Amino acid sequence: MFKKIDRNKLIFFGGLIGFYLVIQVLQLMGIVTSFLSTILSMGTVLAIVSLGLNLIYGFNGQFSLGQWGFYAIGAYSAADITYRWSNNQDTSALLVLLFSVILVGGAIMILYRTLSRLRGLDALSAFVIYLLATFGFVFLSIKLGGLLTPAMNSALGALPEWLSFTIVYILAVLIAGLVAAEISFLFGLPVLTLGSDYFGIATLGFSIIVKVLLDNSDTLLGFEEMKGARGMIGIPKVDDWGWFAVFAFFMIVVVVTRNLLHSSFGRAIISVREDEIAAKAMGIDVGFYKTLTFVIGSLFAGLAGGLYAHVNAFLHPDTFNFIRSFDPLIVVVLGGLGSMTGTIFASYAYLLVVEWLLRQILPPGFENWRFVVFPVILLIMMLLKPNGLFGNFEMPFLRQLLPPLKKKPAAEAAAAPQEAAQ
Amino acid sequence: MNSTHTFLSTPPFIESLIKKKILGKLMLILLAAVVVWRMGTALVENPSLFLQQVINGLQLGFVYALIALGYTMVYGIVRLINFAHGDVFMVGAFMSFYAISRLQLHTWPSKLFPNMNSMLSVGIGSITVVILSMIVCALMAITIERVAYKPLRSAARISALITAIGVSFFLEYFGALPFVFSANYITYKRPFEVTTWVANGEGVQTLARGIEVPANSVIFSNIAVLIIVASIILMVLLQYTVTRTKIGKAMRAVAYDKQTAQLMGINVNMIISITFAIGAALAGAAGMLYAIAFPQVVFWMGIIPGLKSFVAAVLGGIGSIPGALVGALIMGQAETLSAAYISTPMRDAIAFSILIIVLLVRPTGIFGEATREKA
Amino acid sequence: MKTRFAFFVVLIAALVLAACQPGAAGGTIKISVLAPMSGQVATFGDSTAKGVQLAAEEWNAKGGIDGKTIEVVVKDSQCSADPAVNAMNQVVGEGGKFVIGEVCSSASIPVSEIAEANKIIQISPTSTNTTVTLNADGSTKQFVFRACFIDPFQGKVMAKFAAEQGHTTAFIMFDQGNDYVRGLAENFEKAFVEAGGTILGKETYTKNDTDFSAILTKVADSKAEVLYLPDYYNIVNLVGAQAKEKGVTAVMMGGDGWDSADLDVTAAEGGFFSNHYSPEDTRPIVQSWVAAYQKKYDGKTPDALATLGYDAANLLFAAIDQADTSEDTAKIAETLAAIEYEAVSGKITFDAQHNPVKSAVVLAVKDGKVSFSASVAP
């Protein structure tokens, strides 16, 4: 067992844990202010969202602007679960969503196997079948959840408070990811048939629809506690170990992404990016891999949303408006399409520059200049390094640890994302 | 998901249903039926009110059309979603604001020729203002194109897109600085007085202030007339330029194949600059018309109309000029009618749902080329 | 390899170290003003900050509070929840103890949660929504106060005024994402129906909307006598201009959000709105305040926001002075709750929910001017 873990992996994970420990120690010493540690948490959250987008866009070539919408869905689902538990000792949201994700997830898997037998079934018809199944199972879950809520309330209530909250919190974040993933499956099914730019625009539309729904979450959707466009308050803030939880999820996402990319799945999605027709000719189920990548990417967005809700303890639909939805895209492109370390580095760099460095550099009273200076930096970056900081390589000095995914001459590799984007 | 061993079990009648794509079609038909039923009952209940809302939607739709043309032309030629276009529109609105409120430019004919007919003098004055903001926007777009987009023309398209987002941020927040446009809401002074007319079975009369609208009649203002007429004139001019002139021919050639166009002796860089300039000039005119209709200017005012016009361009088939017009009119009606008859807070969601549904039925938009080369 | 990794760690450490900032200087009392200095309603923030600064200057001229000088720091919170929370987190990070703001209820509510949790005294000068000073369970927030009357009262005042003018039908338009606007609209509706009126329709919009033609066409079609639009001046300007074009004949009425130098008086012509004070008031304290403000700011007449900012600051300073401490915020909060203070906008005492008890005025927009119309007691 241990023989399989080679030295490179040890250094890689050691580096991540070391990074965490250094931050932790600095925090204890008071060198990292609460403001800065908030930025670090947010940077980690942004890194998770962007890793998801990098998977969809960087590695699979699907130009998606919907990542922010799934992030919003995750944030609000997780927040609703913990809000109801910590304010009213009510597990209804937890149970209903838990049953929903399990039942709908199961239904989707079974239906996918059944429907793939029906050759020539168009995406829209399949979508209708999935949608009806989803409605049915969600309805069932609401009934089931309602039945079991009192029992669950007392069961969780019997546990010590910290333990019950920890359970609810971790479940909430996981459910947030799964909710986002399942919605992305439903939405992606018909929309993934569109061409690349049109797919991007349809996903942008999705983000905006989610934002409008959140604006009306209290009136039209009937979630009083979300308070619509007024912003959701009263979400429990996970303060003491929040940073640990965020970092732990981040590590899991990094490991999962890395392993996925180094498996046959990774090679398949990259081949889809490079040339869909050739991939199809090689026997790769293009539709399946596109959908799966989209779902996994959205899963990460949902997880990140759940984490964000408890770092910030305040959610507002304006955070999820379409202008902010460019954030992960900017991060992914700046870091380099198809470079995980690039994305991670760019997430922290982006927030540090916008929220912290520019505040430090600009004299007081010139805070308005932040967004005048930032686009100029962005422009210069794009002109100097049109392929992003790390191109589609992993971090240069880690290259030996994480070998480039394609064994190609450098010039050819640099040209690849251009083709993919066109 | 290998399914080679299973496809023998499908009964033939289900297979025929699948071939007809029956479920998807059924859903779309159902959706369409609900909408038609809702609009139909609204029309029967109160035809004049319905007509009134349609006029409101037309007014909005024509402004969107002018902005959408810029998106569609630029996309057609360089395949770039020019996110900064909405902010060019904002600059156009501000330019006309300064020209009217600070420089009193719209009054020059009446100052030079005091005896001139007042309608004529206001008309000429306003046209001067429009031309000024169109020129400023065109020059700005050429600068943006040369500085930000041209160096990236051979790079990946995504780099240019990120640059466009950056330029958009820059224009907004630079405009928001106190010594530029400031971050405040500024009331826009219309260059002329608003007149409202009532139209019903008895003909058309002016509606005096404070008088209620008579029953069974629709009202429209000189603003609506101005927007619709000005937009149509500009669009006809554009269509003429693109289809009948040499520059238009060159533009089409560059859009079709840049390299071949270059070999044919077309100055591709200049044509691209001209395209940006024409699109921006239309956005500048739209900025002024929008500010006249909704008399307030603020630095972020371009974001939402820009986005909606872009969606309109996609809806109509990006790259197509008639498509932009049709898409924009659909967006205007979708917004107004859903605000009027379905749900005011949901109107944006409804407009974007229409976009997604249209794309699912026609993946390249209503007027888009049916077969598109692999993206 | 090792050196490179070490370089990476050092780089991060250096970035982190650079974050350290020197602490605040002693001998001063730092007051943070959270107000919109940019964005949609920047004039609100400008007026509020001027009022607070004038109050601080007056106290500093008298030798400060117990020998400590007052330092006013203005933070731009843009009248909206997201930046306001960020600004408030900065105040917490800097160890601030006193906050005046936010101007808008939608921003004050999340800020008040943070203030309460960190034992920071917050006095909102103009946030009129009830929940600003209340916890989710209905109890009063210990550290949060306000200097203005609350939404139920403003809504009631306008409903009462509308009924007195003989109007029986009304149409309500409100921004559903704004606690302040919603609060006024709900309370107007309740009081207007109680007074025997009918609400012919209610429509919502969002703060970024500019096209109100669909809604206004409905208003014109309903033939309502009153259009209640309790939003800020920028929306009033837009709606007013479009209403005239769409043949709306209803009288526009609103709340103190209308009170701004940038209110377009031609668009709002014929309208009425409730407010906190009128500079035409003859009480000596009002006149001396108006004179002091005009002297400092080039003859400009103070609006309600400047006045309430001034009142809020004075209340806070008086409480710090009476409590004889600038550290123990719990004691200062206790002093504030029991204070009786003659302020410019009326004599202020706090009720159990930390809301001041005082009267309101109704102002009319007529012939391109805003003038005093009526006074309504609590």
Each residue of A224-233: pLDDT tens digit?
888 888 888 8
B205 three-class SS: strand
Least confident segment among A340-349, A354-363, B103-112: A354-363
Contact yes or no for A333/A63 (Cβ under 8 A): no
* Residues of chain B neighbouring C178 (CB-CB closer than 8 A): none
Are residues C307 and C228 both part of a single domain?
no
- Taking the C-alpha atoms of residue A98 and residue B101, their distance in angstroms, rounded to an integer, is 60
Which chains, if any, share at least 3 CB pairs under 8 A with chain B?
A: A, C
pLDDT at A419 over 50: no
Confidence at residue B370, expressed as pLDDT on a 0 to 100 scale: 54
> For residue C312, is it within any domain?
yes
Q: Which residue pairs from B347-352 have beta carbons closer than 8 angstroms and sit at least 24 positions apart in sequence?
A: B348/A208, B348/A209, B348/A212, B349/A208, B349/A209, B349/A212, B349/A213, B351/B308, B351/B311, B352/A205, B352/A206, B352/A208, B352/A209, B352/B311
Q: Which of B56, B59, B210 faces C249 most closely, judged by CB atoms? A: B210
Residue C245: which of B187, B221, B339 has the nearest Cβ?
B221
> Does C200 lie in the same domain as C131?
no
Q: Which chain A residues touch C116 with a CB distance below 8 Å?
A: none
| Domain co-membership, C302 together with C219 | no
Residue B14 pLDDT: 76
More confident: B15 or B28: B28
Contacts of A205 in chain B (CB under 8 A): 311, 352-353, 355-356
Q: Which of A22, A38, A231 sits opposite C110 (nearest CB)?
A: A231
Q: Show which of residues 21-80 on chain B sit within 8 Å of chain A, judged by CB atoms.
A: 21-28, 79
What average pLDDT score do residues B121-129 get? 89
Decide: residue B146, CB within 10 A, 0-12 exposed, 13-18 middle, 19+ buried.
middle
Residue A362, amino acid: L
Higher pLDDT, C374 or A377: A377
Residues C271 and C237 reside in one and the same domain:
yes
Please report, for residues B109, B197, B221, the alpha-carbon distance to residue B117 in angstroms, rounded to integers and kept in the order given.
Answer: 10, 21, 21
Q: What residues pair up with A86 in beta bridges, in sequence order? A: none
- Please determine, for residue A414, whether its predicted confidence score (pLDDT) is greater than 60: no
Q: What is the pLDDT of residue C152?
A: 79
Looking at the complex, report in whole angstroms how far the Cα of residue B279 sits from the nearest Cα belonging to chain A: 20
Interface of B with C (CB under 8 A): 46, 49, 52-53, 56-57, 59-60, 176, 182-185, 187, 194, 196, 198, 207, 209-213, 219, 221, 223, 293-296, 298, 300-301, 304, 335-337, 339-340, 344-345
- Using H for helix, E for strand and C for coil, what is the string for B206-238? EECCCCCCCCCCEEEEHHHHHHHHHHHHHHHHH
Please indicate, yes or no, if residue C11 is contained in any of the structural domains.
no
Mutation target for B interface from C43, C171, C217, C219: give the one with most B CBs within 10 A: C217
Instruction: For residue B56, give both structure tokens.
Output: 């409101």
Determine what percent of chain A is predicted with pLDDT higher than 70: 88
Single out the residue of C81, C111, C146, C152 nearest to residue C349, CA to CA: C146
Are C161 and C188 spatial neighbours (Cβ–Cβ below 8 Å)? no
Candidates A33, A38, A352; nearest CB to C15? A352
Provide mean pLDDT across the span A269-281: 90
Q: What digits encode the pLDDT tens for the residues B231-280?
A: 999 999 999 999 999 999 999 999 988 899 999 999 999 999 999 999 99
Indicate if C197 and C251 belong to the same structural domain. yes
- Cβ of B314 within 8 Å of Cβ of A422? The answer is no
Per the listing, tokens 């995914």 go with A405
| Nearest by CB: A125 against B15, B22, B374 | B22
C neighbour chains, 3+ CB pairs within 8 Å: A, B
> Which residues in chain B touch residue C218, judged by CB atoms under 8 angstroms apart?
49, 340
Residues C291 and C353 in one domain: yes
Name chain A contacts of B21, Cβ cutoff 8 Å: 122, 124-125
- Within 8 A by CB and 6+ apart from C203, the residues are B344, C171, C172, C173, C174, C215, C218, C219
Confidence of residue A103 (pLDDT cuts 50, 70, 90): very high
Nearest CA in chain A to B310: A201
Beta-strand pair C28-35/C69-76: parallel
The alpha carbon of residue A239 is apart from the nearest alpha carbon of chain B, in Å, by: 33
Torsion angle of alpha carbons A383, B267, B247, A197, nearest 10°?
A: -40
Q: Are residues C157 and C266 in the same domain?
A: yes
Residue B6 has pLDDT above 60, yes or no: no
Q: Which pLDDT belongs to residue A6?
A: 61
CB contact under 8 A, C38 and A352: no
CA A107 to CA B328: how far, in whole Å? Answer: 40
Which has more pLDDT, C318 or B212?
C318
Chain B hits for A421, CB-CB cut-off 8 Å, are 156-158
* Residue of B46, B56, B343 to mutate, interface with C, max C Cβ within 10 Å: B56
Number of domains present in the structure of chain C: 2
- Give contacts of B335 with chain C, Cβ < 8 Å: 211, 214
| Strand stretches in chain B, DSSP E | 186-187, 196-200, 203-207, 218-221, 296-297
Q: CA-to-CA distance for B204 and B227, rounded, in angstroms?
A: 19
What confidence score (pLDDT) does residue C5 get?
46
| Residue B346 in this model has a pLDDT that exceeds 70 | yes
C264 close to B (CB below 8 A): yes
Short-list B275, B278, B302, CA closest to B93: B302
Contact A343, A47 (CB under 8 A): yes
Helix (H, G, I), strand (E, B) or coil at B187: strand
- Phi, psi angle pair for C56, to nearest 5°: -65, -40
Give every CB contact of residue C288 below 8 A, 6+ residues apart in sequence.
Answer: none
Instruction: Report which residue type is found at B16.
Output: S
Residue C367 lies in a domain: no
Looking at residue A99, what is its pLDDT? 94
Span B264-276, pLDDT tens digits = 999 999 999 999 9
Taking a C-beta distance cutoff of 8 angstroms, is the pair B218, B55 a contact?
Answer: yes
**φ and ψ at residue C218, rounded to 5 degrees:** -65, -40
Could you tell me which residues are beta bridge partners of residue C204?
C174
How close, in Å, is residue A133 to chain B by CA atoms? 14
CB nearest C80 (choices: A26, A35, A318): A318
Here the ipTM equals: 0.89
Q: Does residue C368 fall inside a structural domain?
A: no
Question: Does residue C257 share a domain with residue C157?
Answer: yes
**Both C52 and C136 in a single domain?**
yes
Cα A303–Cα A307–Cα A312 angle in degrees, nearest 5: 145
Phi and psi of B370, rounded to 5°?
Answer: -65, -45
What is the pLDDT averaged over residues A189-202?
88
Cβ–Cβ < 8 Å for A362, A348: no
CB contact (8 A) between residue B345 and residue A120: no
Closest alpha carbon within chain A to B163: A379
Q: What tokens were used for B195?
A: 């007149």
Say if the Cβ atoms of A26 and C89 lie within 8 Å.
Answer: no
User: What are the φ/ψ torsions at residue C172 (nearest 5 degrees)?
Assistant: -115, 135
| Residue pLDDT tens, chain C, 378 long | 444 444 444 444 444 444 333 333 447 888 999 998 877 678 888 899 999 999 999 999 888 888 888 999 998 888 888 888 888 988 888 888 899 988 888 889 889 988 988 889 999 998 888 888 888 777 888 899 998 888 778 888 899 899 988 999 999 999 988 888 988 999 999 999 999 999 999 999 988 889 999 999 999 988 899 999 999 999 999 999 999 888 888 999 999 889 888 888 888 889 999 988 888 877 788 888 999 999 888 888 888 889 999 999 999 999 998 888 888 888 899 898 888 888 888 778 888 888 888 778 889 998 888 888 887 776
Chain C residues closer than 8 Å to B179 by CB: none
Do residue C286 and residue C265 come from a single domain? no
Chain A residues whose CB is inside 8 A of the C12 CB are 19, 22
Smallest CA–CA distance, residue A374 to chain B, in Å, is 8
Instruction: Give which of B272, B367, B303 is closest to B329, Cα–Cα.
Output: B367
User: Which residue, C172, C123, C163, is CA-closest to C143?
Assistant: C123
Which residues of chain A does B331 touch, with a Cβ-Cβ cutoff of 8 Å? Answer: none
A residues 342-371 closer than 8 Å to B (CB): 368-371
Would C19 be classed as within a structural domain? no
Residue of C nearest to B215 (CA): C221
Write the CATH number for C137.
Answer: 3.40.50.2300
Chain B closest-CA separation from residue A289 CA (Å): 10
Whether residue C211 and residue B344 make contact (CB cut-off 8 A), yes or no, is no
Q: Is residue C369 part of a domain?
A: no
Q: Is residue C10 part of a domain?
A: no
The per-residue pLDDT for A324 is 86
Higher pLDDT, B139 or C95: B139
CB A347 within 8 A of CB A355: no
| CA A64 distance to own-chain centroid | 12
* A119, A196, A418 ranked by CB distance to B155: nearest: A418
Most C CBs within 10 Å, among A31, A212, A218, A233, to test the C interface: A233
Distance from CA of B139 to the nearest CA of C (A): 28
Both C172 and C102 in one domain: the answer is no
Asked if C113 and A233 come within 8 Å (Cβ–Cβ), the reply is yes
CB C123 within 8 A of CB C147: yes
C-beta atoms of B344 and C246 within 8 A: no
Residue C195 counted as domain residue: yes
Question: Kind of pairing, strands C346-349 and C360-366?
Answer: unpaired
Q: How many other CB atoms sit within 10 Å of the CB of residue A147?
A: 10
Q: Residue A35: its chain C contacts at CB < 8 A? A: 19, 89-90, 93
Q: Is the confidence at residue B1, as pLDDT, over 50? A: no
- Gap between the Cα atoms of B305 and A406, Å rounded: 43
Do residues C270 and C324 both lie within one domain? no
Q: What are A10-53's pLDDT values in tens digits?
A: 777 777 788 778 877 777 777 667 777 788 888 999 999 999 99
Q: Which residue range(s) make up the domain with C166? A: 152-275
